[in-house]
Amino acid sequence: MRTPEQVQEIVRLLLEEYPLADCTLDWRKDYELLFSVRLAAQCTDERVNKITPALFERFPTLEAFAEADVEEVEKYVHSTGFYRAKARDIVACAQMLLKKHGGKVPGTMEELVALPGVGRKTANLILGDVYKVPGSTVVDTHCIRISNRLGLVDGTKDPVKIEMALRQILPPEHSSDFCHCIVLHGRAVCDARKPQCEKCCLKHLCQHFSG
């Protein structure tokens, strides 16, 4: 495992390398981010960003989504994959937001994961990006891979275990930014199949590289 000093250096270097790191999904309203994250499951953010302008134009309010015909929503989200489940979750989520939360995306983990189609990853993204809650830790495939390669976690691929482990060692004020940086680093450098270790800013701290 990494020492506190090594963890601090990893975070510092990532923030230095990706100073503008942010969520790569396009959104204006809190519920738009919530729905976009649902659409991004098993799909790229780039693809989601291509289809959401038309989706949000057709259904410009939360009320419009709540009253939407699921089959019509399916047509807009079809190219993101698993479109039936995604459309169903979006409509049901809009209805629950209006019925139980006054049309506002809630700001607690417990309330968020009770929404249709929302798991801890999505909840942490909302808590970090919308509510700026310190310690919010989004564990996606990039985070799982790179946290293991760096030795921040010990050989587990369980997202919840990784989230809890990272919460113990990451500076809470930088947890959300760290996760955004990891996504960009995973796309640009630390690829799953062929990591470009020679150009990695973290190679001197990486167990994968040294091993």
Q: Is 26 a catalytic residue?
A: no
Measure the N-to-C terminal CA separation of the chain; round to a whole number of Å. 14
Distances 14 to 61, 84, 98, 117, 140 between C-alpha atoms, Å: 37, 37, 39, 31, 17
Structure tokens, 77: 């989200």
Buried b / exposed e across 97-136, counting CB within 10 Å, b at 16+? bbeebeeebbbebeebeebbbbebbbbbbbbbbbeebebb
Q: Is 121 a catalytic residue?
A: yes
- 178 φ/ψ angles, rounded to the nearest 5 degrees: -55, -45
Q: Which residue is associated with the tokens 């700026």? A: 132
Q: Which residue is associated with the tokens 């963890």? A: 7
- In the set 30, 86, 89, 121, the catalytic residue is 121
Integer Cα distance of 207 and 24 in angstroms: 28
Farthest CA pair distance, the chain = 55
- In the set 140, 154, 158, 194, the catalytic residue is 140
By annotation, the residues acting in catalysis are 121, 140
